[in-house]
Amino acid sequence: MKRAPMLTVDVVIRTPGGVVLVKRGNEPYKGKWALPGGFVRYGERIEEAAMREALEETGLSVKLQRLVGVYSDPKRDPRGHVISACFLAKQIGGRLKAASDAVEVKIFKRVPWRGLAFDHARILKDAGVR
């Protein structure tokens, strides 16, 4: 059987107070801040996966605004070759509450650039977050 990359989504949720980040509860990067996101389920559209992951990890319902980019460096994730489709979104409902594999969720006015997981600093910059 051939090996194939795994597909994930990441979501940049901007609010009037800043950008939403989750503290990872699992390895890799346990305890680091990251964008809400996760693996796309078989049969699921990536847009649906992005909205589901945002809700599961942050308690927020979001509307996707645009694709920020596709990140495919085979070394971006220590678990293997993981490709991520990353979206910019805005909150349309819900209440901020950590869930799923996020141990904490917070809106950052100032992004903790040095404490970010994966290549999320690059993704945030590509989304226009400074």
The CA angle 5-11-117, to the nearest 5 degrees, is 70
For residues 77 and 55, give the distance between their C-alpha atoms in angstroms, rounded to a whole number: 23
Q: How high is the pLDDT of residue 99?
A: 84
Known catalytic residues are: 104
Q: How high is the pLDDT of residue 50?
A: 98
Quote the pTM value.
Answer: 0.95
Q: How high is the pLDDT of residue 101?
A: 82
For residues 93 and 130, give the distance between their C-alpha atoms in angstroms, rounded to a whole number: 25
Residue 34 contacts residue 120 (beta carbons within 8 Å): yes
Tell me the average confidence (pLDDT) per consecutive run of 10 residues in the chain, 130 residues long: 93 96 95 97 98 97 98 96 98 92 94 97 97
